Structure 1
Amino acid sequence: MKATLAVAALAAGVSAGSVHHRHIHAHAKKGYEAEDTCGCTTVYSTYYGEPTLIFPPAPSPEPTTASSTQVVVPTPIPQTCPTTGVYTFPATTITLTDSTTVAVPYTTSVPAGTHTLGGVTTVVTTATTVVCPYATVSTSEGVTTSVIESTTYVCPSAGTYTIAPTTTTVTEDTTVTIPSVTSYPAGTYTQPEVVTTVYETSTVVYCPFDIPTPSSSSVETYVAETTPVETPVYVPETTSTPVVETPIVETPVEVPTYPVTTSVPEPSTTSSKHTPKPTQGSPGKTPAKGTPGKPWAVTYTPYQTTPGGGCKSQGEVNSDIAAIAAAGVTTIRVYSTDCSTLEFVGGACEAHGIKMILGIYVDEPGCDAGNPSVTEQISSIKAWGKWNLVSLITVGNEAVLHGFCTPSELAGLISTTKEQLSYTGPYSTAETVNIWQQEEFSSLVCPVVDFVGANAHAFFNTETTADQAGQFVKGQLDIIDNICAGKEGRVMETGWPNAGQALGLAVPGASQQAVAIKSIVKELGDKAVIFSLTSDAWKDGNTQCQCEQHWGCASVLGINM
């Protein structure tokens, strides 16, 4: 079921994760040797500017209003939260009287090995000389500074050239910093107040600035002057590459613990402060809604619910789907193709008039169609091809949150999946709301999805009681409705455990689960997938909340198993 909860805005996204086959909640030397195969001649000159690697002090460990350090340009401000709790980052406004070009440091996660990052990609249509700035770093007397250097390329023919990338070698999975040339026009930039619930110690939160209000009619929107080779993304510094579990159904999966917040201030109820400017794009395809008074869908995995686990038989799957249909739930969400999902579950859905939300699961680094697990799933779905049963397809379930994909990799995988499958209905992914709110994520993923799919669990917000679950999740839906312009949001996972340990005001229990799910269905049932049909004893019960085995809610939904 759910896994590591990185950063979730109080009215913006709590985390819930999964592991494939178990679906639980799992500047080295500078690259002066720019590509010379084109026969280009390179001449370098250096321009040093103001230092831009600015690290503001960490906010108070107590969940009170946090302070931040003024920055000279409107780059997202990194804030370190040393303990769990609710943090408030006040609004910040920066006014630039002149256009400013600086080297902005970005971070990205990379596996062990040698990587070519950064630089500038230039396309020329004829023999020409290209003069452009690029970003790098300079270290002097222990001080690291981002600087902008200029290079001249004399290219003898048309083609695409990579100018001045940086070669970085790391011995283990880590996060590296990549400077990138970024230009800001004159104008006023505002970073709105952000109220964030932190579930892990030493979490780093990035607070982005809104698109600027121009200071004159001649200033247009912010546009970076150069295009990096690899789009850098922000990754919380506490995120590490999870251990890849062996994809065998019989083996229980280790579930991360959930730190409990014991002291938190009154939460903010203004969700608009957390909503980024919608990303432009064409309107998407809208998934069908559920039956009024019923959840849109319920999650289903064809696994035995006993401690040993294992795959259910065809007869057992058919019995489960028949019970779901009899209760008036019209759609189920599956995560992958394991345990004969397409054959057994698909066949039962076809027999009982149930629609399917198909999933392509990414459970290890290798976020592309070349990953054997991903290849197998796409091939199986393509061969199966019963599109009349498919309501929509999700590519990845919290794959970015858990470090299996970068935003650019996920966007590429979604596009590749669309190309390989003949399904013409809606596609999306399932990430937590705080991941969707990151501009680096939404700018890349919004253009390739048809709607915004997000997992939102009220239980992991320590300030939410069971009767407030529907209101909380509805707030999450309101946020994601405004992430991608013209594309509505859907909640791909939400629920409440029927047993376990309390997390602040969030108390598990059978009666609390009934109250929470009733309130969720009332507020947004026709746009929400309820997690999950059954409680699963094969999951790890030794977690902070001790709730991983107890999310089954069939009886609450009137499903007689």
Structure 2
Amino acid sequence: MRLKVNLLALLLAYRSAAHPHDTFSVGHRRNAEHDVKPKEQVIVWVDHAGHTIGIEHKHQTPTATFKSSPTELPLLPNTDNIIPDNPLPKLTVEVPELNTNRGPRFGITYSPYTSHGTCKTFDQINQDIEHLRHHAFIRIYGIDCDQTKLVTQASRQHGLKVFAGVFDLHNFPDSLHYIRDAATAAGGDWSIFHTIAIGNELVNKGQNKPADVVNAVNTARGILRGAGYQGPVVTVDTFSVMLQHPELCAASDYCAANCHAFFDNNQLPETAGEYALDKARRISAAAGGKKTVITESGWPHAGQPNGRAVPSPENQKKAIASLRKAFADDPDLVLFTAFDDLWKSDNQWTFGAERFWGIQDMGREREREQDRE
């Protein structure tokens, strides 16, 4: 009877303040063995770790000798249904993948003509530029259709710079007035211009000799500096011409070269980026270490094969991805081109692809049907 009473007392003690009912730590209790009279009762209060925290005597309190030994508490109810394996919900954090295209990246070439070769209106140009706003700047080639003023106006609205230029040396240097007028229309603000180019592939096409182009670049720089423009002035030609004529680089504020792996019949789209990067490094080496910017590079999505270089939408995607990867640390790369140039015509060197270089994943398909109307 005594053992029963004592056990009952200790069990009650276990559920007392020493062991709150919502505490699930497994503790110990102690059985007290008394050398005392049977009428007397002693209750020992212990905590969850088995330490005595109090002794309660009832009736008389004779001297008692205690012998204690730890005894395991009865097993608590199965806590699997009380405490889940994961008592706190898992915190899920979305870690975005590294996006090398975050923010404006690279330049993109753009021609403001309809499929019939007529001039686009400002509203049409503005709509096109809106779809290109994830780039850093727009490269245009000439001054016709008042494109310098219209493209710079639209680009200002969308936070882009403009790589402008005169396409050839006809009416040069008077042709520079169109560029100056674009800045004047913006209150004399030249900050919109990324670069101003004097000619595009003039030596490669046989239109001008290298010395003539060098003189034109130097003349243009003097005129533009006098008008308030302090940015780069260059001439653009193919990478092979730049390697043969480093004086073109010397006259420019940086070396500006067009380079397309597609025109090398041994190239695959996966190597387009490394191909262009290698040519840029070679040009810089030939120019005494001067910076080189690849001012055109892309891949057609339709046309005829050039050996291993095959035009297709899938190959274009591979080539553009290769270019972005190879030039990840050089935001001045200029991708070719924003949209298909349906107004162009082919020759024996273009493999039926001249109209189909528009990058297909630009965010929308070119509105071909609208252009054809």
> Does structure 1 residue 504 correspond to structure 2 residue 268?
no
Contact 1:333–1:356 (Cα < 8 Å) also in 2 = yes
User: What is the deviation of 1:542?
Assistant: 6.0
Q: Deviations over 1:301-334 (max 9, x none)?
A: 1101x2x221111100011111111xx2120100
The amino acid across from 2:248 in the alignment is V
Segments of structure 2 that go 5 or more residues without pairing to the other structure are 1-99, 184-188, 367-373
* Aligned twin of 1:310: 118
User: What is the deviation of 1:457?
Assistant: 0.3
The amino acid across from 1:296 in the alignment is F
User: What is the deviation of 1:508?
Assistant: 0.2
Once the two structures are superposed, the pairs formed by residues 213-252 of structure 1 within 5 Å of their partners are: none
* Aligned twin of 1:375: 173
User: What is the deviation of 1:446?
Assistant: 3.4
**Pick from 349, 354, 357: which aligns with 1:548?**
354
* Aligned twin of 1:392: 195
Q: Deviations over 1:342-373 (max 9, x none)?
A: 221111011111100011211xxxx5xxx42x
Aligned residue-pair number: 256
Query: What SS does structure 2 have at the residue aligned with 1:480?
Result: helix
* Aligned twin of 2:221: 418
Query: What SS does structure 2 have at the residue aligned with 1:494?
Result: strand
The amino acid across from 1:356 in the alignment is V
The amino acid across from 2:149 in the alignment is E
User: What is the deviation of 1:384?
Assistant: 2.6
Q: 1:302 to 1:452 in 2, by over 3 A?
A: same
* Aligned twin of 2:370: none
* Aligned twin of 2:259: 456
* Aligned twin of 1:530: 335
> Does structure 1 residue 358 correspond to structure 2 residue 164?
yes
**Pick from 220, 234, 243: which aligns with 1:428?**
234
Q: 1:454 to 1:293 in 2, by over 3 A?
A: farther
Q: 1:469 to 1:546 in 2, by over 3 A?
A: same
Q: 1:310 to 1:379 in 2, by over 3 A?
A: same
Query: What SS does structure 2 have at the residue aligned with 1:375?
Result: coil
* Distance in 1 separating the partners of 2:362 and 2:121: 24
Query: What SS does structure 2 have at the residue aligned with 1:499?
Result: coil
> Does structure 1 residue 484 correspond to structure 2 residue 294?
no
Contact 1:291–1:330 (Cα < 8 Å) also in 2 = no
Q: 1:295 to 1:487 in 2, by over 3 A?
A: same
Once the two structures are superposed, the pairs formed by residues 100-499 of structure 1 within 5 Å of their partners are: 295-304=105-114, 306=115, 308-325=116-133, 328-362=134-168, 367=169, 371-372=170-171, 374-385=172-183, 386-422=189-225, 423-438=229-244, 441-442=245-246, 444-499=247-302
Q: Deviations over 1:479-503 (max 9, x none)?
A: 1221322421000001000000100
Larger Rg over CA atoms? 2
* Distance in 2 separating the partners of 1:293 and 1:506: 31
% same residue:
30
Contact 1:503–1:545 (Cα < 8 Å) also in 2 = yes
Segments of structure 1 that go 5 or more residues without pairing to the other structure are 1-289
User: What is the deviation of 1:295?
Assistant: 4.7
Q: 1:560 to 1:329 in 2, by over 3 A?
A: farther
* Distance in 1 separating the partners of 2:197 and 2:278: 22
Contact 1:454–1:489 (Cα < 8 Å) also in 2 = yes
Contact 1:536–1:549 (Cα < 8 Å) also in 2 = yes
User: What is the deviation of 1:556?
Assistant: 2.2
Q: 1:541 to 1:435 in 2, by over 3 A?
A: closer
* Distance in 2 separating the partners of 1:546 and 1:459: 12
Query: What SS does structure 2 have at the residue aligned with 1:481?
Result: helix
Q: Which runs of 4+ in 1 moved over 3 A?
A: 290-295, 541-544, 557-561
CA RMSD of aligned residues (A): 2.0
* Distance in 2 separating the partners of 1:311 and 1:291: 31
User: What is the deviation of 1:527?
Assistant: 3.2
User: What is the deviation of 1:448?
Assistant: 2.2
